Structure 1
Amino acid sequence: MIVRPRPNWFRMLFVWRGSVLPVILPQLIGTTAFAILVTVLHGRVFAWKIPLNFVPFSLIGLTLAIFLGFRNSTSYARYWEARTLWGTLLNETRALVRQALTLADAPSDVPTLTARLIAFVHALRHQLRTTDAKADLERLLAPQDCARVQAARYKPAMLLLMAGEWLADRRRAGQVPPALVQAMEVPLGRLTEALGGCERIAGTPIPFTYSVIIHRTIYLYCVLLPFGLVDAIGPMTPVIVAFIAYTFFALEALSAEIEEPFGTEPNDLALDAMSAMIEATLREMMGEAQPQQPSGLPPGGFIQS
């Protein structure tokens, strides 16, 4: 995700990085070029005049806007839920480390729990992006813990199990009273729910047929639009077609981009920065040296527009 201060209104007009313009530029150029050709030929194809006006395009455009609005709202709901779930990771890992440090009788054992929680966050990021978590696991875990997690298919779930085992070991050793065990199980349960929520979003895309319907309708609409405008506005037809095509193509591209919020596109969630921030705050609670905060990440927060 693009992490930077919001530019002023004038610079916003020319922002390239982070916009969807690089993605839709070929389609936009092709549509505009076709509109120029239709304008030059005065709406004729092989000497046959195509008799269209703006009325059917008004009706179709309204329907298309409704479909695009639904698709965009659905995609953003997935994006925001994913962001909320990663906020839960921050809150509940902090709660677990705080409880272990302040309420357990043997705070010297807390680094093991903290390392497993940090590894859980990084392992979840790698699982959602289908990347290799080996380097982070070797950096954070003891060799025997690392080998156990590496052998697991669902590494974040295994790390939560190991965090629960740490709690069970402390209870059996009498270092954590039963009342505290129950209290610490609450954030562990919420971490499990957040893990399941992320897996649900990653494994359940928006039904493909919505994308197909919207994609076909947008292209058909933009191809036929010059024939409906050329008699009414003449030489301005390519300009208006380019503006309308940009709006529709951009909304479709943005919806497709944020539909999968855990990816690496410019407008996806900044999982690298979030993982680093969670690690930094847990290490600070432990009094350890913190890893360098990613460039552009605002202090005390995950992301910035």
Structure 2
Amino acid sequence: MIIRPRPNWLRMLFLLRGSVLPAIAPQLALTTGFAVLVTLLHGRLFSLKIPLTFVPFSLIGLTLAIFLGFRNNTSYARYWEARGLWGSLLNASRTLARQACTLSDGVDGADGADGEEAAARARPFVYRLAAFAHALRHQLRGSAPGQDMARLLSPEDCARVAQARFQPAVLLLMAGEWLRDMRRRGRLDPVLAAAMERPLERLTEVLGGCERIAGTPIPFTYAVILHRTTYLYCLLLPFGLLDSIGPTTPLIVAFIAYTFFALEALAAQLEEPFGTAPNDLALEAISLTIEATLRETLGERDLPAPPVAVDFVLR
């Protein structure tokens, strides 16, 4: 995901990084080239004059713009819901880490155990929460989480997670097992353990919500209809404009085609918010931020930094 200061109006006109222009450049060039050919041939195709006017294109263009706007709104709603789920993951993880460090009792059962002792006791639990964020990111992107798991988990936990098909769910199970062990040892009051289950349940909801978004795209038929209509509209448009605006037809066609192609490409990118495209969510930066804030709860100072490149690109 690209995070950068907003440039001035003039520089923004020529930005390529983060725009969809590189993705739509081939079809935009093809459409503009076809418009130039139609203009040079004066609207004739194999010696046959195509009798079109701009009136039907006005009606179709308005309808097409409405449907493209609806698809973009739907895609952005998926994107924003995904971002909200990861925000809830951060909040619930912070709550659990704080509770693990402050609500559990010392070895002798007395309240108010020493901070270092409490942090050492909560460390396996907190590290499992950090590993959950990384495992969820890798599951959504289809990548291997082995390096992050080896960095955060014990060899026994790492081997157990590696054997699982749904690794984030197993990590939540392991976090729940820590709560069970603390309760059985008398270091965590049953009432407090039940209170800690609520944010843990929220993490389960986050996991299910992300899986739902990743596994349920916008119906493909809907995208096909818009795709075909957009291309047919842009290819036939020069025949309807030529008699009215003459040699400037390719310029106007290029502008309209850019608008429609860009809206379609942007909707396709936002539809899948967990990928690695420039406009997708910065999951690596978010998961590293979650890890850093959880480890800081334990009193650690050597914390990971989010990957920030020179051009403010976060992935």
- TM interval, shorter chain, is over 0.9
Write the mapping of 1:84-163 to structure 2, written as runs, cut at 5 A: 84-106=84-106, 107=118, 108-163=120-175
Query: Aligned partners of 2:309, 2:45: CA distance in 1, in Å?
Result: 53
Structure 1 residue aligned with 2:32: 32
Structure 2 residue aligned with 1:300: none
1:184 to 196, 221, 226: 196
Q: Which runs of 5+ in 1 are unaligned?
A: 298-302
Write the mapping of 1:55-70 to structure 2, written as runs, cut at 5 A: 55-70=55-70
Residue 113 of structure 1 aligns to a residue whose secondary structure is helix
Residue 80 of structure 1 aligns to a residue whose secondary structure is helix
Query: Aligned partners of 1:286, 1:11: CA distance in 2, in Å?
Result: 45
Give the letter for the 1:290 counterpart. L
2:303 is the alignment partner of 1:290: yes
Query: Aligned partners of 1:109, 1:149: CA distance in 2, in Å?
Result: 21
Q: Which runs of 5+ in 2 are unaligned?
A: 107-117
Residue 161 of structure 1 aligns to a residue whose secondary structure is helix
Structure 1 residue aligned with 2:75: 75
Query: Aligned partners of 1:295, 1:249: CA distance in 2, in Å?
Result: 30
Is the 8 Å Cα contact of residues 3 and 296 (structure 1) preserved in structure 2?
A: no
Query: Aligned partners of 2:306, 2:52: CA distance in 1, in Å?
Result: 58
Is the 8 Å Cα contact of residues 125 and 275 (structure 1) preserved in structure 2?
A: yes
Structure 2 residue aligned with 1:254: 266
1:221 to 210, 230, 233: 233
Query: Aligned partners of 2:158, 2:46: CA distance in 1, in Å?
Result: 70
* Displaced runs of 4 or more, over 6 A: none
2:213 to 194, 201, 218: 201
Query: Aligned partners of 1:175, 1:9: CA distance in 2, in Å?
Result: 60
CA deviation vs aligned residue, 1:174-219 (integer Å, no higher than 9, x gap): 1111121111001000000000000000000110001100000000
Structure 1 residue aligned with 2:279: 267
Residue 255 of structure 1 aligns to a residue whose secondary structure is helix
Identity, in percent, stands at 70
Q: How many residues align?
A: 300
TM-score (normalizing by structure 2): 0.93
Write the mapping of 1:11-22 to structure 2, written as runs, cut at 5 A: 11-22=11-22
Structure 1 residue aligned with 2:111: none
Query: Aligned partners of 2:67, 2:221: CA distance in 1, in Å?
Result: 12
TM-score (normalizing by structure 1): 0.96
Tell me by how many angstroms 1:292 deviates.
2.3
Tell me by how many angstroms 1:296 deviates.
5.9
